[in-house]
Amino acid sequence: MNYIKIFSPATVANVSCGFDVLGFALNAIGDEMVFKKTTKKGVKIKKIEGANLTCNIKKNVAGVVAIAMLNKVNADFGIEIELLKKVKPGSGLGSSASSAAGAAFAINELLGNPFTRLELTEFARTGERVACGSPIADNVAAVLYGGFILVKSYEPLEIIKLPVPEDLWVTIIHPQIEVKTEDARNALNPLVPIADAVKQSANLAGLISALYTDDYQLISRSLIDVIAEPYRKNLIPHFEEVKKAGLKNGALGIGISGSGPSIFALCKGKENAMSVAEAMKEDYQNTGIEFYIYTSKINNQGIIILDSK
Amino acid sequence: MNYIKIFSPATVANVSCGFDVLGFALNAIGDEMVFKKTTKKGVKIKKIEGANLTCNIKKNVAGVVAIAMLNKVNADFGIEIELLKKVKPGSGLGSSASSAAGAAFAINELLGNPFTRLELTEFARTGERVACGSPIADNVAAVLYGGFILVKSYEPLEIIKLPVPEDLWVTIIHPQIEVKTEDARNALNPLVPIADAVKQSANLAGLISALYTDDYQLISRSLIDVIAEPYRKNLIPHFEEVKKAGLKNGALGIGISGSGPSIFALCKGKENAMSVAEAMKEDYQNTGIEFYIYTSKINNQGIIILDSK
């Protein structure tokens, strides 16, 4: 294989009760990425569309991942990359993860698949370190594994792919404001009352159980975040109101996607996801803030190969 | 039914990563309890063997539960109770839960089963309030539901019965020392660093996933407690050493049962549970502290009716 074009999905991390440990992938939003082998060694980012990102391969996450992988196998060829960014940087939808994990996946294909999915997750984390300052795994693992993933531990890195109920959909609203990851981090209380830690873990345990048993109502009762949302919601204008509007229209649960500003609503079925989207849209129009809105099935496959030769 | 004799199991609460939310029931240890209808109204505790507990029905947990239930249905008969305590008070094996949940179950039978299992859990909690000062649900729910249970929430009370891998056994060592529940509570850090809260919830999520997938190695990797054990282990002499001895001999994981002093070791299969018991026994003999040791399959049934008429 000398050429590969992929769809690398957007992802939702945290997922309310799964702060820093859960993530899932989307079908409706994702980057398109093209990777070509070149006889000349080294990595070149030829084109980036859809976002104002650097082509400097030491600063662009896809470049960083590509260099690390080619160096690792001592490749005798180079890589040329084209990015069509549809997952907007700063959206809370795993924009850097989409690029980093997409690069890891595609280059592994071009190399003849020498690396495991867990190793690709490690490579993608090197990209996340450049983008966010810390090598978080929840978004990149969701891109690479698809569906719902649990970051069980970091040392050693362990990713568990969880089952996804067939009819699980998500609606996303992405307000066009910036929430800096640093501000979102700083908003958190670094010390959690033990009763809250217990509540959060009980809800996460409930959600895991619900995913294994296709229990949509238990999913709904488990999507409660007592650790991050109470602090971070203040960074997202009109969060409470749009959450209420979505829940009133039958969303299973609503929370902040990653560190925001995007807000996700898990729903049972496409029809409900559409009506929740309609309700959230109607409500958010009152704010005067521009926004995008998406409805998607949970992507259980992860990255999709669009073309290769 | 005018007479019922039951086996009401001992239970392990917390289960390392499941601090305050997980519990499971045992086969090998449990109280025997006898309940008889009497024409005379009211509750009488006729006999208690095996432990030095009060027969005052307002202070004995079985009495408290019995009164609450008979009052609730406005019963036109009374109850006479005999307790053969084999789950020792202060063992960390749910002694009061065994009495409280046993009473709730048996009296429900004598009443013709008007109450759901969740309602019985609520009644049993009134007993726990008398015994421990707080109406905790993890032990009593494990007695009433059997197997592994998750206390998903308290308001409203929600109990989830989790699947139990067929070959899951447990070894318990009960050192003959007293750990006061109050001391165990006070030993905890009331504020948990957010990174520890995340670790604990990731391990709990891993354990829940492992129970659904019969993954013994994932059970093993998930039995880590960063919230209670680091503080409470100091209340149990020789905890680290006996834990090491058990793990070296193949236990999946080892932790404090409830608030101690009992220590549980989850094992794959009876044979391993027996050899872990042997290793822990040999190690603990060095301490000069007397102890009991038990090996048991996980009890997936809960309370067992031994006789009724």
Of A160, A191, A221, the CB nearest to B193: A191
Instruction: State residue A133's pLDDT score.
Output: 81
DSSP B268-306: ESHHHHHHHHHHHHHHHGGG---EEEEEEEB-SS-SEEE
Same domain, B99 and B21: yes
Model ipTM over 0.90 = yes
Same domain, A22 and A144: yes
Strands in A108-259 per DSSP E: 148-154, 157-162, 168-175, 191-193, 253-256
Domain count, chain A: 2
- Domain holding A207, by residue range, is 168-297
Q: Which of A208, A211, A215, A219 best probes binding to B when mutated, by most B CB atoms within 10 angstroms?
A: A208
The rounded Cα B271 to chain-centroid distance in angstroms is 23
Shortest distance between the Cα of A69 and any Cα of chain B, in A, equals: 29
Rounded CA gap, A82 and A80, in Å? 7
Instruction: State residue B131's pLDDT score.
Output: 86
Catalytic status, residue A128: yes
Q: What is the 3-state secondary structure (H, E, C) of A24-56?
A: EEEEEEEEEEEEEEECCCEEEEEEEECCCCCCC
Same domain, B13 and B144: yes
Q: What angle do CA B74, B78, B83 make, to 5 degrees?
A: 125
Instruction: State residue B37's pLDDT score.
Output: 97
Same domain, B139 and B276: no
Instruction: State residue B259's pLDDT score.
Output: 93
CB contact under 8 A, B151 and A203: no
Instruction: State residue B263's pLDDT score.
Output: 98
Percent over 90 (pLDDT), chain A: 94
pTM of the model: 0.97
Q: The domain spanning residue A204 has which CATH number?
A: 3.30.70.890
Same domain, A191 and A284: yes
Instruction: State residue B181's pLDDT score.
Output: 76
Q: Answer whether B148's CB lies under 8 Å from B298's CB.
A: yes
Neighbours of A58 (CB within 10 A): 10
Same domain, A208 and A285: yes
Chain B, residues 32-61, CB within 8 A of chain A, namely: none
For A50-84, how does the pLDDT look when each residue is reduced to its tens digit (9 = 90+)? 999 998 999 999 999 999 999 999 999 999 999 99
Same domain, B27 and B143: yes
User: Minimum mean pLDDT among A107-111, A123-127, A132-136, B232-236: which range?
Assistant: A132-136
Same domain, A71 and A138: yes
Q: What is the mean pLDDT of residues A106-131?
A: 96
For A134-180, how does the pLDDT look when each residue is reduced to its tens digit (9 = 90+)? 899 999 999 999 999 999 999 999 999 999 999 999 999 999 998 87
A218 CB neighbours in chain B (<8 A) are 152, 160
Q: Residue A94, class by beta-carbon neighbours within 10 Å (0-12 exposed, 13-18 middle, 19+ buried)?
A: buried
Same domain, B130 and B250: no
Same domain, B115 and B55: yes
Same domain, B238 and B283: yes
Q: Answer whether A229's CB lies under 8 Å from A21's CB.
A: no
Q: Which stretches in chain B have pLDDT values below 50?
A: none
Instruction: State residue A198's pLDDT score.
Output: 97
Same domain, A148 and A255: no
Instruction: State residue A134's pLDDT score.
Output: 86
Instruction: State residue A131's pLDDT score.
Output: 86
Q: Does B193 touch chain A (CB under 8 A)?
A: yes
Instruction: State residue A307's pLDDT score.
Output: 97
DSSP B158-189: EEEEEP--TTEEEEEEEES----HHHHHHHS-
